[in-house]
Structure 1
Amino acid sequence: MRIVHLSDIHLSKNNYDEFHDNYREALINDLNDFHSTNKIDLIVITGDLVDKGGHSLLKMPEFDTYTSPYDIFEEVFIKPLARRLGLSNKNFLFVPGNHDINENVILWVDEKSLKQKISKDTIKEQLKLNETSFNSSNERIQLFKEFEEKFHKDTINYEYTNNESAYLFKDENSNNSIGFILINDSWRCSTCKLEDSNLNNHFFGFKQFYWAIEKLKILNQGLELDKLICLFHHSVDEYSEKDEVKRFLINKDVDLFLYGHHHSIKSEYMFTPVNGCHGFRGRAALNKPDEHTDIFQPGYQIIDIDLLSNRISQIHHRKYIFPSSMFVADTSSAPPLGIDNNSSRGSIGYEFSQKKNNSNYLEGLKVEDFKRD
């Protein structure tokens, strides 16, 4: 299974000319080279499709007939990739980032009131209100979520809500069932800050993870998933509910989580004695194309998963070279060939944890194992 991970595209008036004239063709050509040797199954985007709500795109003369920046994004970004690679809407997954909110609809008085009310104890109630409607708490994400709903209206095994969404991908070769949890962790984001910093905590509602699991169980007719992958935008440690999120990722057989936000690469492994979960953060895919600082230069990842051996076999790190208008191996992130196969740890690839079976685990424990000498 081959997954392309893009994040933090930040499409805007400022980078549109470079995107249109050079970057898009370079990206398509680079993806096509990989696609021709091992087909791409999914292209996932972990937030910030547009920059600052996409308002600058709507002001461009060539897009004066558009009312949503995400329709522009689909037309200029997704459709050209899909046509060249022979993909359809079911091959694209995306979650919102903090730049995908429309701050023009936020009223300060409402925002102040919500910040004072929302906590770990009350966030679930607000999520329930948001699930099928938009209000002062989540209206800022409405354009994005309406675009998502429209984009995937014909996608089989895709379950949408205004909060989290879920997608069941069936691998044609192995017949494996891979569940995708798509978390909306940006619906409470804004640049409005209160003087009391404790009221600016990032609550997004960790119950989204559990509700998505329930959706996947129904989509998979109650059968166990072969793989479970989570997509969200922020780093786990940025959540006020980080302990609850870590507990879910580790204990609910999540194999992999992908995210963005910080525009630079990071890999992590969360684990307990009985289970673990790999996480990968990607570069900003576009943002500032002529960025000079190496760690923030545009790029993306291609993740190859060997479903038979239960491991990530390789991660191809790619970086955009502005003067040459082309993508190359990102050797500064994964030397020497821009390919990460985890060989430094004495293995090829990142091995996934085996699916837990609590009864077998307990049966394997003996009293003698806990006796001290």
Structure 2
Amino acid sequence: MKATVKIMHISDIHADETTADKLNLRIKTFLSDIDQYRGEIDLVVVTGDIALSGKADQFKLAEKIVFDPLLARLQLSRNKIFFAPGNHDIDRGRISIPEDVGVKKLLLEQNDASTYFKDKTGFSRLENYFNFLEQFYSPKKNFAGKVFDINYMPIGLGILNSSWLCSGNDDKNNLHISEYQVAEVLTNIDSALLKIGIMHHPSDWFSNYEQRYVISELKRQFDIIITGHLHENVSRGEITPQYNTILLTSPSLYNNYCDEFLGYNLYNIDLSKNTLTAIYKKYMKGRNAYDRDTEYALNGEHEFELKTKSPMLFSKSILCQKINLLNTEIEKSLKSQLALYQNLPDPILVTPKLSSLTWKSDKKISTPITGDPTKLSAKHVFIYAPKDMGKTVLMKSSVAKINQSYFVEKSGPISAYIDLAFKDHDKNQLEEQVKDKISETSITNHISEVHIFIDNINIKNLNQLSTLNDISEDFPQWKFIVAIENDFVMEAIRRNDKYKTWEFYEVMPWGPSRIREFTTKFFEAAGIKIDVDAAFNFICHSLRNEGVKNFV
């Protein structure tokens, strides 16, 4: 099971009505290529230059030709695509030349642009861009950043405006993000364990002051920074004593003047391995198709090591995610088994009740227990359950409850279910089975206690029980819960001093409360309107007629 986040990165669309026909042709080829990723992509990021010159109709054109069909192909909603403004998204006709010249002159002396960004100085040049965002998202989205869960992992996406002071050909080394903007974005995504920043301009386009202080802070705070603007692929991991960040730049998706460097990127982030694999897709004009850019990277892809800024929290969150995925698999297996008997598309579960077993003068005393059966004991446990009494349902549902509790509380034990399928296993085999289950969640380094539910043990070979007892002494953090179907075996076990520290339970026959619960849930799931009391009385009457007396 993989814990992955998949991001599609497009940039520099340059939409304009005068070249709409050619844009439409190129985008149709792009849309045909991304059909293969339908249902696989978690997020789409667009790093600027949506429009050619910041006009309102250009943003509408990009929405119609690019974004709406893109989301439809990928089966994503609008809240899964994010935009950062580019230099072509400004409307130069709305720039106040005196204000612009004055601010840039002052910034040569003051360096920090925070006051001007906070006052939204120069934002009028991006008015059409902001209006596009307002109508694109409903309800209104926070444009500074967002934290959302992907596969139960809190991912933070910080959106940075690097274009608010863009004006022309002298932009390079004269741009500013501002310390204020960085702090504002980080506040919005503070709870995220993986932080991704998106903006239009690469880091070397900013002023010397910004590169030294602001961009360095970005690299310290963000695990990944995604940009555009260059119309070519540029990807690298920067490692210094201060930061370890992956920088990713995508080529242009459309450029009316040149078809040679069109493309888009895919980023597969494998959280369990701490890796990011960038896949570079390039437009091949001769074939009018997209393919991997093998000229830029071997096989058109490159794997980066992902160094999260919060390694301990990140690791624990990954563990929670894996446990939840395992829990889902257990629940699916349980439902699949129940569906065979109940003939319902969504089978119902009524967990069997337990009673604790003690002996006094060789007389068995069965005492019903109340509360959560997943908290049976601090010791190892044997559960006696004759065939078809629901032991597997009990064990799988208990595993699911324990893991769900860990997933919610992020503390306590976790559990695993092991089906021995009535086969013989020596100590090494049994130990290996347990370790394999544990390694699926990497829990050995994180959890102090593991509850291991052993089902379908071969009672003809009681040496396996002795072996389990030996393993439990070798691994005190492992707690075994072993199901036994045969009452003679149970009697032999309880007389053996080797198991004197173990506790004993048994699955109780269904009583009226269980029968009523099942009857009610069954008819609700089947969509049948019926007098539940009458159905319950009929079932009880039928059981008595068949000579079943001990169910009450």
Q: What's the TM-score, normalizing by structure 1?
A: 0.75
Whichever residue aligns with residue 350 of structure 1, its letter is: E
2:129 is aligned with 1:144? yes
Q: Matches of 1:99 and 1:289 in 2, distance apart?
A: 15
Deviation at 1:275, TM superposition (A): 3.9
Aligned equivalent of 2:147: 168
Deviation at 1:25, TM superposition (A): 1.9
Whichever residue aligns with residue 70 of structure 1, its letter is: F
Aligned equivalent of 2:179: 206
Deviation at 1:179, TM superposition (A): 0.3
Q: Mean Cα displacement is larger for which, 261-270 or 104-113?
A: 104-113
Shift of the 274–183 alpha-carbon distance from structure 1 to 2, 3 Å rule, reads closer
Larger Rg computed on CA atoms: 2
The DSSP-based 3-state class of the residue aligned with 1:112 is helix
The DSSP-based 3-state class of the residue aligned with 1:159 is coil
Q: 5 Å matches for 1:222-301? A: 223=191, 225-240=192-207, 241-252=210-221, 254-273=222-241, 275-288=243-256, 290-292=258-260, 297-301=261-265
Deviation at 1:356, TM superposition (A): 6.0
- Tell me if the contact between 2:84 and 2:161 (Cα under 8 Å) persists in the aligned partners: yes
Aligned equivalent of 2:41: 40
2:9 is aligned with 1:8? no
The DSSP-based 3-state class of the residue aligned with 1:300 is strand
The DSSP-based 3-state class of the residue aligned with 1:247 is helix
Aligned equivalent of 1:102: 91
Question: Quick check: which one's helix share is greater?
Answer: 2
The DSSP-based 3-state class of the residue aligned with 1:184 is coil
Whichever residue aligns with residue 307 of structure 1, its letter is: L
Q: Matches of 2:83 and 2:64 in 1, distance apart?
A: 15
Deviation at 1:270, TM superposition (A): 2.5
Shift of the 114–192 alpha-carbon distance from structure 1 to 2, 3 Å rule, reads farther
The DSSP-based 3-state class of the residue aligned with 1:185 is coil
Kindly provide the CA deviation profile for residues 48-91 of structure 1, in whole angstroms up to 9, marking residues without a partner as x. 1111224xxxxxxxxxxxx5422222122111111222211111
Shift of the 260–244 alpha-carbon distance from structure 1 to 2, 3 Å rule, reads same
Specify which of 110, 123, 129 is matched with residue 119 of structure 2.
Answer: 129
RMSD: 2.4
Kindly provide the CA deviation profile for residues 254-282 of structure 1, in whole angstroms up to 9, marking residues without a partner as x. 11011011111112222333641110111
Aligned equivalent of 1:325: 288
Q: Matches of 1:109 and 1:75 in 2, distance apart?
A: 36
Shift of the 24–201 alpha-carbon distance from structure 1 to 2, 3 Å rule, reads closer
Q: Matches of 2:307 and 2:38 in 1, distance apart?
A: 24
- Tell me if the contact between 1:111 and 1:192 (Cα under 8 Å) persists in the aligned partners: no
Q: Matches of 1:92 and 1:9 in 2, distance apart?
A: 15
Q: Matches of 1:123 and 1:354 in 2, distance apart?
A: 27
Deviation at 1:114, TM superposition (A): 2.4
Of structures 1 and 2, the one scoring higher in RCO (CA 8 A, sep 6+) is 1
The DSSP-based 3-state class of the residue aligned with 1:288 is coil
Q: Matches of 2:46 and 2:146 in 1, distance apart?
A: 14
- Tell me if the contact between 1:45 and 1:94 (Cα under 8 Å) persists in the aligned partners: yes
Deviation at 1:185, TM superposition (A): 0.6
- Tell me if the contact between 1:108 and 1:192 (Cα under 8 Å) persists in the aligned partners: no
Q: Matches of 1:124 and 1:239 in 2, distance apart?
A: 14
Deviation at 1:228, TM superposition (A): 0.2
Shift of the 114–328 alpha-carbon distance from structure 1 to 2, 3 Å rule, reads same
Aligned equivalent of 2:102: 113
2:59 is aligned with 1:70? yes
The runs of at least 4 aligned residues of structure 1 exceeding 6 Å deviation read: none
Shift of the 315–289 alpha-carbon distance from structure 1 to 2, 3 Å rule, reads farther
Whichever residue aligns with residue 81 of structure 2, its letter is: F
- Tell me if the contact between 1:15 and 1:287 (Cα under 8 Å) persists in the aligned partners: no
Q: Mean Cα displacement is larger for which, 5-14 or 299-308?
A: 5-14
Shift of the 272–353 alpha-carbon distance from structure 1 to 2, 3 Å rule, reads farther
Shift of the 85–166 alpha-carbon distance from structure 1 to 2, 3 Å rule, reads same
- Tell me if the contact between 1:256 and 1:277 (Cα under 8 Å) persists in the aligned partners: yes
Shift of the 236–41 alpha-carbon distance from structure 1 to 2, 3 Å rule, reads same
- Tell me if the contact between 1:168 and 1:178 (Cα under 8 Å) persists in the aligned partners: yes
Q: Matches of 2:119 and 2:102 in 1, distance apart?
A: 16
Shift of the 339–112 alpha-carbon distance from structure 1 to 2, 3 Å rule, reads closer
Aligned equivalent of 2:32: 29
Deviation at 1:300, TM superposition (A): 0.8
Aligned equivalent of 1:362: none
Whichever residue aligns with residue 198 of structure 2, its letter is: L
Number of residues of Structure 1 aligned to a counterpart in Structure 2: 305
Shift of the 324–15 alpha-carbon distance from structure 1 to 2, 3 Å rule, reads farther
Q: Mean Cα displacement is larger for which, 202-211 or 116-125?
A: 116-125
Whichever residue aligns with residue 25 of structure 1, its letter is: K
Aligned equivalent of 1:370: none
Whichever residue aligns with residue 159 of structure 1, its letter is: N
Q: Matches of 1:205 and 1:44 in 2, distance apart?
A: 22
Q: What's the TM-score, normalizing by structure 2?
A: 0.52
